[in-house]
Chain A
Amino acid sequence: MDVFKGIKKFIEDRMAGGGAKTPFPASVVFERFREVLNCNNKALEIIADLGEKLSGDYIFDKQYINDSMKTLEEAVLQSVHALNSLSSGRYQELYAVYDRLTSRLHTVMAGREDRTGPIILDLKDITRPHAVIVGGKNSHLAQIAQNLGLKVPDGFVITTRAYHDLVDHNGLRRDVDAIEAMMDDPDVDVDAIEPLRIKLETSIAAAKPPPDLISLIGERLDEMKVRLGQDLMLAVRSSAQEEDMDFSFAGQFHTVLNVPADPLAVFDAYRSVAASLFGRRAIRYRLRVFPGEGHMSIAAGCYRMVDSKISGIVYTVDPSEPGGDTMMIVSVWGQGEAVVEGRASADTFYVKKGANPLLVRQKIAVKETGLYLKQGGGLETRPVPDALKDAPSLTVEQLEKLSIQAMQLENYYRRPQDIEWAIDGKGDICILQSRPLVVADTMAQQGSLAKALQKYELIVADTGAVAQQGIGAGLVYIVETVSDLDRFPEGAVLVSRRDSSQFIRVMHKTAAIVTEVGTPVSHMSTLCRELQIPCLVNVNGILSLVQNGMEVTVDAEDRRIYKGRVPELLAFKTSTNLNIAAAKEFRILKRLLNTVSSLNLVDPLMDNFVPEACETYHDILRFVHEKAVGELVEMGRDERRLLKDYWARPLDFPIPVGILVIDMGGGVSADVTGDKVPFSAITSIPFKTILEGLMFPGVWHTRAANIGFGDLVTSIVNVPTDALCGQYSGHNIAIITNDYLNLSLRFGYHFNIIDVYCSDRARDNHIYFRFLGGATDITKRSRRARLIAIILEAFGFNVESKGDIVIARSGNMPKVEIVRTLNILGRLVGFTRQLDVQMDSDEQVDRYAEAFLMGDYEIVNRR
């Protein structure tokens, strides 16, 4: 009879609707929902695939990137289409978002990103995505200051955008395009590009400033003077895109020291730095290390000139023993330029690395002169006072402090570093630069490495999967709980049963990560790739093979873990002048993934869950999925769409819930012929599971069980007016397929909606739960809502509650987890069915929540 009422209402609405859009029938909605899932899946698979390629364990080329990106773009667009066709075009604004992101991706693929963004950036404002416009060296300094808390000179960066403005403003674009085109050929003749190179070098050295540049520099200088004093002087240092990433470019570009803080003087220094991009040596070096990569640009760092009392270099490994654990520190009185250029005699200290660095050897030179800042600009040589000439330029305390900072830098960048440092008048250590140290390894070159490795004891070989390639050695530190991370030692090898994105907290001081279970596509693996942490996952039995404090060497290239330190491997690591992550394809892929894979739109309950807030393709996909689920939920509430096309049959169930079943495919076994659907014939996994939860012993408590189906109908008729907002008209309806459930369930005065997708693919799966209403006053109803919220949160739901409304979401988990959660949800629905009357104090909320979580469902009857 209810069915007839529904149909009648449907017809009435149609008559009264006058031009209102007819909603799609359920079958169409469901079909389109599946299309959304398909498109999303296709896109997410490509994203995962692209991410995995960054591990270093693959050979791929530009073609692969281009093809994958093309398919990805299409899949994301399809997904946006699918949502719009599902929702009658309600999310048109997604197209603009898609266009914005897609054109950004095209800029990255064309290698043109360095032409956009700010002209000048303060060092403190530089974040990861800026790396491409501030260059490697500046980006590193910003990271060192922000992430390691080490002192670096205050300053700002004139970005690559400014370089491109300079080129355009001085009419040099055609020449730049021409030389880049020539250098795009990996086999270009060096002499053929010489005339153009010279022309560009001289033109840029004499270039006119583009509009705004001088005034922008002036503003920064004024701000710096306020912070640092009127007598401020600057160092203007080059920072090319690739500099400090892979090949050091050491000494290839200009640096101008002790420049007066005057905008014109700084611009003058800047253009000489920019011109050095086309220096003879720099171009030859580039052709050798980056063959076939024509695109180039340069940024410049403008830093406070440190009036150094002592300065020098740290090599975090002794180059004569690249596999060893001794670092080498070179220092002089005054400025370090002379050391860098090898012009002055300097002290050399050898320090053994470890928690307590130990000075093992030193060579004190006779230091006749030192370089010092000259009044008005530039440097000058001055004699060193007699008392200091043959005194060690560093004290043991200074050596210790310096060594500790150097080890931090080595751990942070995960390979040996070549560090420039200075100690200022206040005695503070200032890091001027940190770049990879590359030392020739004759052993690997001679092919004897493989043989040398045979003498080391293997803990595991050829097990596990590479999440990120690399080599790392250190003491094992086993992480069992998140709190173990609080005591994580500098430079240790993290070993754990499963992977966790929580490890990010210690990744800056981790030599390598090894886990028993896990996959190369997990969040942790992605983080390892971002931060270049050597990482093996799925290494069977590793926890039984290592103990805390045991020294190991992890080779996450050949999937081997050695007992102890393997100097030959560490030497090999120091000698590989190809950091794969610095290769062009990797850099492009990594930058593409910035706009593709990270997820900013995490929480649908937050205000920023809107199309405009989508910063990546992944955000779009997340948004589309959430809204598509929303459409399904709506559909379930709109019985007009359902009763029209489907045969709704009452469920025959031991508990009188009064549900009409609408099977859209595979939800009920085919041999049911009668008017009723027996519980035993339900083949819809989510529906069956919820019902099992309702039937769980004690859940459907006896008092409530006395209310029969008729009573339920009575209560429907007597719905209080404040609840009559449209949501309450309808039946208890279950729309099902074998892996889907949309359940509208009313008990007395409150209303549940449960929408579940439960397939074999974890990331398709979702649970949406909505609870509303009650028969008692709003205070009691709200208490019950809070009780439900507490319980749902305990089961990992993302919960929003306001007054007597609770909306909870969960998902992206395997079928077995969905099933487990649904069973609990079934129990919860039964348990809380009439609880609002008992919620007479706030304490009751906690008491009942506790009881439910302990499985004590009988508490309801004990009152």
Chain B
Amino acid sequence: MVRTDDDNKRLRLLVIDDEPIVGRRLQQVFTKMGFDVETYTNPVAAMETMDRHPFDIVVTDLKMEGLDGMAVLERVKKKNPDTKVVIITGYAQLDTASEAFRRGVFDFIAKPFRLDELKRVIIRAMEDARLSKEERS
């Protein structure tokens, strides 16, 4: 189940992509899986929401107006280092990928992708979050 272990609350997932279709589609898929999903086409607005209420997992597009995926990654990690960030991109570039990994991205996924691929990444991210929590405690 897609719940945190301690308080039985649903995991919060944030999706940021300037193409509305991506958010709408992921909202549908991850809501069905049991996540509490919020989607934004505007990264700045998404960050404002995050400042008020952190997310467990953030899925963000790389190339966006206003604030790109790398900047989102930096903001998220600064605010809450435990949040897992997955970057989706239509322009997979090796240098960006290695830079993103250096800055703590959980994984990279290139558009177009199968929903299954992203689901697998998200499930890994959840497990990873649980492991690091156990290590700490």
Our verdict on whether A and B bind, yes or no, reads yes
B-binding residues in A (CB < 8 A): 53, 57-64, 67, 186-187, 291-292, 444-445, 447-451, 557-558, 572, 576, 578, 580, 583-586
Within 8 A of A (CB), among B12-49: 17-22, 24-29, 31-36, 41-42, 45
Say which residue of B19, B32, B111 sits within 8 Å of A444 (CB atoms). B32
Chain B residues within 8 Å of A, Cβ to Cβ: 1-2, 10, 17-22, 24-29, 31-36, 41-42, 45, 88, 90, 111-116, 118
A67 to B92, CA, bound (A): 14
- Further pairs besides A187-B42, A292-B41: 10, Cβ < 8 Å: A58-B112, A59-B26, A61-B90, A186-B41, A187-B45, A445-B31, A447-B34, A450-B33, A578-B27, A580-B25
Is B111's CB under 8 angstroms from A63's CB?
yes
A841 to B69, CA, bound (A): 80
Residues of A within 8 A of B88 (CB): 59
How far is A584 from B118 in the complex, measured between Cα atoms in Å?
22
In angstroms, Cα B42 to Cα A58, docked, is: 22
B114: A residues at CB distance < 8 A = 57-58
Complex contacts, B18 vs chain A, CB 8 Å: 186
Cross-chain pairs A/B with CB under 8 angstroms, 8 sampled: A59-B25, A59-B115, A186-B18, A444-B31, A450-B32, A578-B27, A580-B25, A584-B21
From A59, A444, A445, contact of B113 by CB (8 A):
A59
Asked whether, in the complex, the Cβ of A58 is within 8 Å of the Cβ of B113, the reply is: yes
Residues on A with beta carbons closer than 8 Å to the beta carbon of B41:
186-187, 291-292
A290 (CB) vs chain B CBs: closest residue: B20
- When distances are taken between beta carbons in the complex, the residues of chain B under 8 Å from A451 are 1, 34
CA distance A64 to B90 in the complex (A): 7
Please determine whether B35 and A58 come into contact, CB atoms closer than 8 angstroms: no
How many whole Å from B86's CB to the nearest CB in chain A?
Answer: 12
Chain B residues, Cβ within 8 Å of A580:
25, 28
Residues of A within 8 A of B19 (CB): 61-62, 292, 585
CA of A596 to CA of B13, assembled, Å: 38
Residue in A58, A63, A292 whose beta carbon sits within 8 Å of that of B20 in the complex: A292
B19 to chain A minimum Cβ distance, whole angstroms, is 4
Assembled-state Cα–Cα distance A64/B21 (Å): 13
For A62, A186, A447, A585, the residue with the greatest tally of chain B CB atoms inside 10 Å of its CB is A447
Residues of B within 8 A of A57 (CB): 114-116
Q: How far is the CA of A512 from the CA of B31 in the complex (A)?
A: 23
Could you tell me the distance in whole angstroms from the C-beta of B9 to the nearest C-beta in chain A? 10
Question: Which residue of the partner chain A has the closest CB to B27?
Answer: A578
Docked CA distance A448–B8 (Å): 12
Instruction: Give Cα A557 to B115, complex, Å.
Output: 9
Give Cα A59 to B10, complex, Å.
Answer: 24
Give the residue name and chain of the B residue nearest to A462 (CB).
Answer: B116
| Max chain A C-beta neighbours (<10 A), residue from B17, B18, B27, B28 | B28
Complexed CA–CA distance, A557 and B10 (Å): 22
A447 touches B20 (CB 8 A): no
Q: Whole-angstrom distance from the CB of B22 to the nearest CB of chain A?
A: 6
The smallest C-beta distance from A469 to any residue of chain B, in angstroms, reads: 9
The 7 closest A-B pairs by CB, nearest first: A60-B112, A450-B34, A447-B34, A186-B41, A61-B19, A63-B90, A447-B10
Contact B21 A572 (CB under 8 A): no
Residues of B within 8 A of A557 (CB): 29, 32
With the chains together, A444 CA to B37 CA distance in Å? Answer: 11
Bound together, the chains give a CA A766 to CA B112 distance in angstroms of: 33
A585 touches B90 (CB 8 A): no
A11 to B50, CA, bound (A): 84
Pick from A53, A63, A186, A578: contact of B42, CB under 8 Å? A186
Residues of B near A292 (CB, < 8 A) are 19-20, 41
Q: What's the Cα separation between A440 and B115 when bound, in Å?
A: 24
In the assembled complex, the Cα of A792 lies from the Cα of B108 at a distance in Å of: 53
B105 to chain A, nearest CB (A): 18
Q: A64-B90, A447-B34 are in contact. Are A53 and B112 (CB under 8 A)?
A: yes
Which of A61, A448, A558 is in CB contact (< 8 Å) with B21?
A: A61
- CB neighbours (8 Å) of B1 from chain A are 450-451
- Please indicate the chain B residues that have their CB under 8 angstroms from the CB of A67 in the complex: 90
Contact of A449 among B17, B26, B34, B36 (CB under 8 A): B34
Contact status A64-B111, CB under 8 Å: yes
When the two chains form their complex, are residues A61 and B42 in contact, meaning their CB atoms are under 8 A apart? no
Question: Which residues of the other chain, A, contact B21 by a CB distance below 8 angstroms?
Answer: 59, 61, 583-586
CB atoms of B111 and A59 under 8 A apart: yes
Identify which of A448, A576, A584, A586 contacts B28 (C-beta below 8 A): A576
CA distance A583 to B20 in the complex (A): 9
Q: Which residue of A lies closest to B116 (CB)?
A: A57
- CB A575 to nearest CB in B, in angstroms, measures 10
Selected contact of B2 from candidates A444, A445, A450, CB within 8 Å: A450
Residues of A within 8 A of B22 (CB): 59, 61
**Complexed CA–CA distance, A585 and B22 (Å):** 10
User: Considering only CB atoms, which chain A residue lies closest to B26 in the complex?
Assistant: A59
Residues of B within 8 A of A578 (CB): 24-25, 27-28
A31 to chain B, nearest CB (A): 34
Q: Which residues of B contact A63 (CB under 8 A)?
A: 90, 111
Distance of B17 from chain A, by nearest CB (Å): 8
Least CB separation from B18: chain A residue:
A186
Measured in the bound complex, the distance between the Cα atoms of B1 and A451 in whole Å is: 7
Q: Which residues of B contact A558 (CB under 8 A)?
A: 32
Minimum C-beta distance from B43 to chain A (A): 11
Most buried by A among B31, B35, B36: B31
Tell me whether B32 and A59 are in contact (CB under 8 A).
Answer: no
Q: How far is the CA of A60 from the CA of B110 in the complex (A)?
A: 9
The complex places the Cα of A451 from the Cα of B33 at a distance, in Å, of 9
In the complex formed, the residue of A with least CB distance to B31 is: A444
Q: Please, how many angstroms separate the alpha-carbon atoms of A448 and B18 in the complex?
A: 29
Q: Contact at A61–B111, with CB atoms within 8 Å?
A: yes
Within the assembled complex, what's the spacing in Å between the Cα atoms of A57 and B25? 10
Select one of B24, B31, B42, B116 contacting A583, CB under 8 A.
B24
A446 to chain B, nearest CB (A): 8
Given the complex, which residues of B lie within 8 Å of A572, measured CB to CB?
Answer: 32
A447 touches B112 (CB 8 A): no
Across the interface, name the chain B residue whose C-beta is closest to A62.
Answer: B19
Known: A291-B20, A291-B41, A447-B2. A58 touches B31 (CB 8 A): no
The minimal Cβ–Cβ distance linking A59 to chain B, given in whole angstroms, is: 6
Q: How far is the CB of A48 from chain B (nearest CB, A)?
A: 13
What residues on B are CB-neighbors of A449 within 8 Å? 32, 34
In the complex, chain A residues whose CB is within 8 Å of the CB of B24: 578, 583
Cα distance, A584 to B22, chains bound together (Å)? 11
Give bound CA distance, A292 to B24, whole Å. Answer: 13
Kindly state the separation between the CA atoms of A449 and B33 in the bound complex, as whole angstroms.
8
Question: How many angstroms from the CA of A583 to the CA of B29 in the assembled complex?
Answer: 15
Residues of A within 8 A of B33 (CB): 450
Q: How far in angstroms is the closest Cβ of chain B from A570?
A: 13
Most A-side CB within 10 Å, residue of B21, B34, B42, B88: B21
Report the bound CA distance from A42 to B34 in whole Å.
Answer: 40
Least CB distance, A132 to chain B, in whole angstroms? 19
- When C-beta atoms are compared, the residue in chain B nearest to A68 turns out to be B112
Q: How far is B28's CA from A59's CA once the two chains are assembled, in angstroms?
A: 12
- What CA separation (Å) do A449 and B2 show in the bound complex? 11
Chain A residues lying within 8 Å of B35, measured Cβ to Cβ, are 447
Residues of B within 8 A of A186 (CB): 18, 20, 41-42
**Closest CB in chain B relative to A193 CB, distance in Å:** 17
Chain B residues with CB below 8 A from A58, complex form: 112-115
Residues in chain B near residue A584, CB distance under 8 A:
21
Distance of A186 Cα from B88 Cα, bound (Å):
20
Most buried by B among A58, A62, A576: A58
CA distance A279 to B72 in the complex (A): 38
Choice from B25, B36, B113 contacting A447 with Cβ under 8 Å: B36
Task: Provide the bound-state CA to CA distance between A451 and B32, in Å.
Answer: 10
Which A residue's beta carbon lies closest to that of B24? A578
Measured between alpha carbons, how far is A60 from B25 in the docked complex, in Å? Answer: 10
Distance of A449 Cα from B17 Cα, bound (Å): 26
| A187 to B22 alpha-carbon distance, docked (Å) | 16
Chain B residues in 8 Å Cβ range of A187: 41-42, 45
Q: Give the distance in Å from the alpha carbon of A186 to the alpha carbon of B20 in the complex.
A: 8
